[in-house]
Structure 1
Amino acid sequence: MGIQVQLAVDLTCQSCVDDVTQVLKGVQGVERLDVSLADKQVVVEGTARPSELLSAIKESGRAAVVRGTGSSVGGNIGAAVCIFEESRTLNSKTRGLARFVQVNEDMCFVDITVSGIPEGKHGVAIHECGDLSNVPESCGRHWNPDGVDHGDGTKGHRGDMGNLVVKDGWGDLAFETNRFKVWEIIGRSVVVGAAADDLGRANNARSKTDGGSGPGILAGVIARSAGLFENDKQVCACSGNTIWEEQRLTSEGHRL
């Protein structure tokens, strides 16, 4: 079964439409394409993964956000969002956003963007609790319903998501996973660590627990969000940022 992917894309002219159309036609698995300049929206049908579509658009020099996914025969499966808040170890300029979209019964698309934290690699994981009262301790341990040692995005804790890389002030991570579903993680938290995650490969107890990623410096609660065609806003009501500014987090000193 094919999937539909709805993307908000920062289109400003017909040339943008033509360029994005050409770029996406080159992505394997794209079967049908609808690009709307008026709505600043792209809808793709086929078998291409959302991360592939997002990467292709970004490489063309345009900001884009995956708004939702669903089956080609209709119906939304699930979506969630996590707005990061700083922990007590950093100032109020630290911020970020994670989106989770269920592509089908077996695959979840994850898109994470952060800004205002130190350069380099930072471990990211889903934690047991959605309690931000005393980050990171109040978030609990890595979500690990299988009771196994820490690992990477393919083995280990089901909440393990590997590393994102921060460079020139911002960093992002986008991938698909079959290790969890949106409805399993709503109400839990996502924590970004102070250091790189060794993916459970070091020979010490800490590596088997959290990969040595250190204390959490960003955290947020995972909450249900709008799915395919359920949200057409282009401006964030709480900050006044456009969704592309929100996604890239380029406006220093402003919270989401």
Structure 2
Amino acid sequence: MAIKIQLAVDMVCQSCVDDVSRVLAGVEGVDSFDVSLAEKQVVVEGAVRPSVVLAAIKDSGRAAVVRGAGSSSGGNIGAAVCIVEEGRALSDSKTRGLARFVQVSDSLCFVDITIGGIADGAYGVAIHECGDLSNVPASCGGHWNPDGVAHGDRSSGHRGDMGNVVVSGGQGDLAFETDRFKVWEVIGRSLVIGAGPDDLGAGGGAQSRDDGGSGPGILAGVIARSAGLFENDKRICACSGNTLWEEARLIGEGHRL
């Protein structure tokens, strides 16, 4: 897997450029990068997750936002993003994570999920049929299963089956490539995090065959089309008036946008 990632980075001087370059040079999987102070932009290429690159740049003390991702071979095949929230229908719901989907070739989709702010443990992850968050989890429908097979793992179960994300120290990450779906097939559906671990269909019984016994969804978000490489040059949101950096800070604090 090799992808190209475009980020907007809040840089004001050459020292910022030097700091960002230094941290990127130490990130495993980064093959090359270009840092532009004038454009406040960083482009990274390699076998590396967008969430890892973003975390590294933030560790340099600079606010950063992923603006686009695509195939390293050029062109925008498809990309999507999902803001994972807690209790979407509730006024006190908070952002708990982010999922990115990047079509890196005609057959392969790269998935990068980061979850935080929940108790340590394993949690089942799945794409559900509907993008309706009005009454999570019931309104999300069942696991996306166009083939009509029993629940299982990423290679043989429902097409929406993603296995488990393991949260440790308050944060969990899950990344993989799949040839079982393409980005445009999941846009408009929901990504749901279950209340507990997914037994990948090995537990026996109807519940295991249905959802791996992971229980009702506690976090969910709608999968929406996102910008591909160099398709988004905004720095201020037309809806809220917030800068990219302010939006990123609010999401990081758990606020809904």
Say whether 1:107 aligns with 2:108: yes
* Counterpart contact for 2:70–2:102, Cα < 8 Å: no
**CA deviation after TM superposition for structure 1 residue 130, in Å:** 1.7
TM-score, structure 2 as length reference: 0.77
**Further displaced range: 144-153 or 3-12:** 3-12
| Corresponding residue of 2:47 | 49
The 1:3/1:242 distance shift into structure 2, 3 A limit, reads: closer
Q: Deviations over 1:133-172 (max 9, x none)?
A: 3221121111112222222333311111222233454444
Q: Residues 1-256 of structure 1: matches in 2 within 5 Å?
A: 4-9=4-9, 14-15=14-15, 17-18=17-18, 20-22=20-22, 24-25=24-25, 27-28=28-29, 30=31, 32-45=32-45, 48-51=46-49, 54-55=51-52, 58=55, 61-62=59-60, 65-71=65-71, 74-87=74-87, 92-95=92-95, 96-234=97-235, 237-238=239-240, 240=242, 242=244, 246=248, 249-252=251-254, 254-256=255-257
Shift in CA distance, 171/255, structure 1 to aligned 2, threshold 3 Å: farther
Aligned residues: 251
List alignment gaps of at least 5 residues for structure 1.
none
Give how far 1:208 is off: 2.2
Conservation of the 8 A alpha-carbon contact between 2:51 and 2:114? no
Distance 1:186 1:194, change over 3 A: same
In the superposition, the TM-score normalised over structure 1's length comes to: 0.78
The two structures, once aligned, show a CA RMSD in angstroms of: 3.5
- Structure 2: which 5+ runs fail to align? none
Q: Percent identity?
A: 65
What do the CA deviations read for 1:103-143 (whole angstroms, capped 9, x no partner)? 22122222333444333222111011122232211211111
Runs of 4+, deviation exceeding 6 Å? 88-91
Q: Secondary structure at the match of 1:232?
A: coil
